[in-house]
Structure 1
């Protein structure tokens, strides 16, 4: 996620909510996996910019449903759109230290 942009309080709440969405294959949340590229809150709507570990990920529909559920549970957010982004392509270097340790990846 682009750290240069200061997140609003609502966007911080959305990011915290997204930490509850676990990738079923890896057992780590989407934020720590580095799959969330950005969140944008405008009034009662939120757009989540994200990617997947691979194109054609069979879990994308399940992840979409979970994302919409947790985002719209954030106070003041009524609508959630998910924008899939493929550039830059996801790689293991985008994971947080927490995710790497949890997955046993040593740098």
Structure 2
């Protein structure tokens, strides 16, 4: 159910920490896979993210998990996930967290 209180970027980031890359075993925020989070009117959320490789076999699983996790949040009406590979992910992004991983 949608409430008047808007969801925050921090709350979304915290929720996404519960999603692990199944091949690496670390959460997607810690890995630096989340590039951008946009929150629009009426509880619409858009996430721009990447995977560790362009042909990551877990891409569909991770994208669907991100979408589902965000749509479970009380103030969210809809979530979309854009998977990008520019810039490409690199191990140097690990541990930089959300907002600092994108070169």
**Structure with greater contact order relative to length (CA < 8 Å, sep ≥ 6):** 2
Three-state SS of the structure 1 residue aligned to 2:81 is strand
Q: How many residues align?
A: 91
List gaps (5 residues or longer) in structure 2.
1-5, 98-103
Q: Given the two structures, how large is their TM-score scaled by the length of structure 2?
A: 0.80
1:35-74 pair list within 5 angstroms: 35-43=33-41, 44-74=43-73
Determine which structure has the larger helix proportion and give its number. 1
- The residue that corresponds to 1:20 in the other structure is 18
Runs (4+) of structure 1 exceeding 4 A deviation are none
- The residue that corresponds to 1:82 in the other structure is 81
- The residue that corresponds to 2:101 in the other structure is none
Q: Post-superposition shift, 1:97?
A: 6.8
Three-state SS of the structure 2 residue aligned to 1:33 is coil
Q: Given the two structures, how large is their TM-score scaled by the length of structure 1?
A: 0.78
Give distance in 2, aligned partners of 1:86 and 1:62: 17
Q: Post-superposition shift, 1:9?
A: 5.8
The alignment's C-alpha RMSD in Å is: 1.8
